[in-house]
Amino acid sequence: MIIIMLGAPASGKGSVAEILSAEYKIPAISSGDIFRKNISEQTELGIKANEYMTKGQLVPDDITVSMIKARLSESDTKNGMILDGFPRTVKQAEALDQMLEESGKKIDIVVNLETPEDEILQRITNRRICSNPECKAVYNTVLHPSKVEGICDKCGSKLYQRDDDTIEKAKNRLVVYFEQTAPLTEYYKKTGALYSTTLSQKINRMKEEVSKDVIEYLKNK
């Protein structure tokens, strides 16, 4: 089972991917986590990627593809994977198609999450992340706060706000997304793999409802 998660930053991709990962027992692979790992380890690719990420810009395709290719070669992906944050451009999608074709695999579904822009900005600026790399729980100071301010409910580690989760950088990321990533919906629509759905608090349709519908859709596909 190979699932691609599409959607603007903070649209809920990671939350839905976590549920689907448990359902299908395949790893949810976040490009953001891969970037941060390379950055923290000061790899050559990590240093280059950080120059773009700190400005709220997309990392160039060649850097991203190299990082992803290395991760997809690891043993835990043999039965499938959920990709969150990759591909982000049509060029990356084409590179992924080639990677999968070489290993005799194909994409089963591309889940495209649609969320109102004002909700996205609120989620980004109020988002807090667990500092424990083994936990990485995500909170929202308004929608889903931790029981003790600044402390993770699950492991007790400190929570932090990402450097690029400011309102200015969040708005820039949305601009970049709609310019460079949104065309992916057309790319995957042509392949027949696209499944678009709304995830929004305004209509009380959140990760649980969306995940349930995706699972049901795949059963009947």
pLDDT digits (tens, 9 = 90+) for 151-175: 999 999 999 998 889 898 889 888 8
pLDDT tens digits, one per residue of 58-85: 788 899 899 988 888 899 999 999 999 8
Supply the mean pLDDT for the chain: 91
> H/E/C letters for each residue in the chain?
CEEEEEECCCCCHHHHHHHHHHHHCCCEEEHHHHHHHHHHCCCHHHHHHHHHHCCCCCCCHHHHHHHHHHHHCCHHHCCCEEEECCCCCHHHHHHHHHHHHHCCCCCCEEEEEECCHHHHHHHHHCEEEECCCCCCCEEECCCECCCECCECCCCCCEEECCCCCCHHHHHHHHHHHHHHHCHHHHHHHHHCCEEEEECEHHHCECHHHHHHHHHHHHHHC
pLDDT-based confidence at 179, cuts 50/70/90?
Answer: confident
Q: What is the pLDDT of residue 153?
A: 96
Answer yes or no: is pLDDT of 53 > 90.
no
Answer yes or no: is pLDDT of 212 > 90.
yes
Q: Read off the pLDDT of each residue in 204-220 and give the average, rounded to a whole number.
A: 95
Give this prediction's pTM. Answer: 0.83
Domains of the chain: 2-115+180-220 (3.40.50.300)
Q: What is the pLDDT of residue 60?
A: 87
Residues marked active site are found at 13, 88, 127, 162, 173
pLDDT tens digits, one per residue of 105-151: 999 999 999 999 999 999 999 999 999 988 988 899 988 899 999 99
